[in-house]
């Protein structure tokens, strides 16, 4: 098997998907890629669910070959993979927040995103890195992601939101459905 699951030997390494550390002893997913800067290979480490959302193909390939019982809760990972491999734009979802200014324009409709309104952060994967690639209005999500249900990855990649903000985001998604 190319990619790996293993317990994190320390709590220092950060997940590529969400930028937060993977706790010592917690299961982590390693995607093996050709080293973009040198000979040989390098491994990108993720929380398993972060990889399922942002690198669905690599996760799917690994789940298909994992010995039974070797991956805890594979159903949750498979669900995330299935959801996000349905459309090429879905793995680019990097969470939601309220626009701090009105300067950014929506990548979908090209209109400004009004200060205080919900926006979806996007990233673009290139050679082992996730590069910030702008925002779309929450209201533009159905058009941009072709009707896919994105609430789960949206909440997953928004760990900084308070409970109240999360509830508000869920409500906003339901209202604009």
Judged by CB under 5 A, the chain residues 4 through 33 that form the site for Zn ion are: 15, 17-18
Q: Which of 8, 63, 140, 150 forms a contact with Zn ion (CB under 5 A)?
A: 140
Helix (H) or strand (E) holding 79: helix 74-84
User: What is the distance between the alpha carbons of residues 145 and 90, in angstroms, rounded to a whole number?
Assistant: 7
- Residues in contact with Zn ion, counted by CB under 5 A, come to a total of 10
Distance of CA 19 to CAs 87, 94, 113, 122, 123, Å? Answer: 23, 11, 25, 14, 13
CB of 68 or CB of 92, closer to Zn ion = 92
Give residue 144's Cα distance to chain centre: 16
Q: Are 91 and 154 in contact (CB under 8 A)?
A: no
What does the alpha-carbon distance between residue 127 and residue 7 come to, in Å, rounded to a whole number?
A: 25
User: Does 50 engage in binding with Zn ion (CB under 5 A)?
Assistant: yes
Q: Does 142 bind Zn ion (CB under 5 A)?
A: no
Instruction: Output the smallest distance, CB 17 to Zn ion, in A.
Output: 4
- Does position 172 bind Zn ion by CB under 5 A? no
Helix axes 56-65 and 74-84, enclosed angle (nearest 10): 140
Residue 95 near Zn ion by CB under 5 A: no
Stretch that binds Zn ion, among 32-40, 85-93, 108-116, 156-164 (CB under 5 A): 108-116
C-alpha to C-alpha distance for 48 and 59, rounded to whole angstroms: 8
Which is nearer to Zn ion, 50 or 122 (by Cβ)? 50
SS3 162: coil
The least distance separating Zn ion from the CB of residue 68, rounded to whole angstroms, comes to 25
Q: Which is nearer to Zn ion, 39 or 113 (CB)?
A: 113
**Of the candidates 44, 59, 77, 106, which one interacts with Zn ion according to CB under 5 A?**
106
Give me the residues that bind Zn ion (CB under 5 A), please: 15, 17-18, 47, 50, 106, 108-109, 137, 140
């Amino acid at each position: 098997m190319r990619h790996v699951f293993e317990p994190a030997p320390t709590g220092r390494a950060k997940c590529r998907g969400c930028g937060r550390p993977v706790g010592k002893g917690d299961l982590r997913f390693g995607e093996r890629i050709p080293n973009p800067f040198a000979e040989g290979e390098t491994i990108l480490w993720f929380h398993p669910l972060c990889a399922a959302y942002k690198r669905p193909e690599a996760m799917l390939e690994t789940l298909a070959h994992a010995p039974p019982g070797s991956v805890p809760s594979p159903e949750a990972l498979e669900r995330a993979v299935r959801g996000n491999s349905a459309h090429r734009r879905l793995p680019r979802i990097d969470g939601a927040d309220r626009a701090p200014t009105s300067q950014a324009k929506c990548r979908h409709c090209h209109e400004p995103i009004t200060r205080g309104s919900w926006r979806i952060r996007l990233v673009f994967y290139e050679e082992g890195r996730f590069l910030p690639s702008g925002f779309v209005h929450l209201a533009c999500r159905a058009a941009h992601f072709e009707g896919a249900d994105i609430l789960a990855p949206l909440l997953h990649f928004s760990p900084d939101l308070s409970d109240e903000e999360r509830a508000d985001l869920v409500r906003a998604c339901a209202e604009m459905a």
